[in-house]
Amino acid sequence: MIKDITIGQYMPGETSIHRLDPRIKILATIVYISILFFIKGFFPYLYVLGYLGMVIWLSEISPKTILKSLKPLAVIILLTLVFNIFMTPGEKLPGFGFLPITKEGLYQAGYMGLRLMFLITGASLLTLTTSPIALTDGIEKLLNPFKKIGVPAHELAMMMTIALRFIPTLLDETDKIMKAQMARGADFESGNLFSRAKAMIPLLVPLFISAFRRAEELALAIEARCYRGGENRTRMKQLKLKGIDYSASLITLLLCVAIIFTR
């Protein structure tokens, strides 16, 4: 039941998007997200659509998967639409009875809704095409310059790697403990909010205990192999920018320029 949940859903592949340097992908995503906030009016969204469409096409990720990534945030998108439609002051449109729907409201709702959807799709394309390991590698490298001002880049990346690594393990564990308690007559599925929250105790206590146990075992195992943080550590796979990375950067830059020119 719980195994069907996918988090950080990486879709393995061999496409040019998959092969891009993770640093470039992360930076491009940040730039892409920031530039979305510079957009005025509907027209520049065409550029964004073109850019995004090209990335999706190149990455060979099915549109179905992309739509699925929007699903968890459907509520937020819906709320944004509703608030914008009803709360924007302006010229009231006839034909909706007592509902205060304005022309500006509809415009604003469409504009904000699109922005949100482009934002989520862009961000999820990053996690869909980049393996968690590559992602943390990229983050570590990008944070490296900030080490001088005391940002523990390596430690942060290591923590992220471990956290990602343990998501499936903990899901498995949750499934097992849930079943064990259900075998003792526990009921996780019915009752009101309060009794449901209370029913979580027999699940959460063993889960926390096992998480702590695992953390301790892992710490010992890492130490036993002489791990001492990032100092002087070398890597098997060095990140190196290639031609394809430069072209990707250039295309992203072009998008920025195009959008800034429409203002």
Partner 1 sequence: MPVEIKNLTHVYMKDTIFQHKALNDVSLTIEDGEFIGLIGHTGSGKSTLIQHLNALLKPSSGNIIIDGVDITAKGVSLKKIRQTVGLVFQYPEHQLFEETVYKDVAFGPQNLGLSREEIDLRVKESLMLVGLDYDALKDVSPFELSGGQKRRVAIAGVLAMKPKVLVLDEPTAGLDPKGRDEILGEIRRLHELQKLTVVLVSHSMEDIANLVDRIIVMSKGKVVLTDTPRNVFMQAEVLKNIGLDVPQVTHLVNELNKKGIKIKDCISVDEAFNELVKYLRSN
**Nearer residue to partner 1 within complex by CB, 200 or 221:** 200
Which residue from 130, 184, 185, 192 is spatially nearest to 160, judged by alpha carbons? 130
Report in angstroms how near the CB of residue 218 gets to partner 1 at its nearest: 17
Question: Shortest Cβ distance from residue 176 to partner 1 (Å)?
Answer: 7
Could you tell me if 70 and 77 are in contact, meaning their C-beta atoms sit under 8 angstroms apart?
Answer: yes
CB of 127 to partner 1, least distance (A): 19
Nearer to partner 1 (CB atom), residue 27 or residue 186: 186
Residues that bind partner 1 (CB under 8 A): 3-4, 176-177, 179-187, 201-202, 205-206, 209-210
Q: Where are the beta strands (DSSP E) in 52-190?
A: none
| Range 119-122, long-range pairs (CB < 8 A, 24+ positions) | 119/33, 119/36, 120/69, 120/70, 120/73, 121/52, 121/66, 121/69, 121/70, 122/29, 122/32, 122/33, 122/36, 122/52
- Pick 192 or 238: Cβ nearer partner 1: 192
Q: Residue 31 CB, nearest distance to partner 1 (Å)?
A: 33
Q: Which is nearer to partner 1, 120 or 178 (CB)?
A: 178
Q: How far from each other are the two terminal CA atoms of the chain, in whole angstroms?
A: 49
**Residue 182 vs 256, nearer CB to partner 1:** 182
Shortest distance (Å) from residue 199 CB to partner 1: 10
Q: Please provide residue 212's backbone torsions phi and psi, each rounded to the nearest 5 degrees.
A: -65, -40
Under 8 Å between Cβ of 108 and 91: no
User: CB of residue 92 vs partner 1: minimum separation in angstroms?
Assistant: 49
Tokens of 128: 């869909």
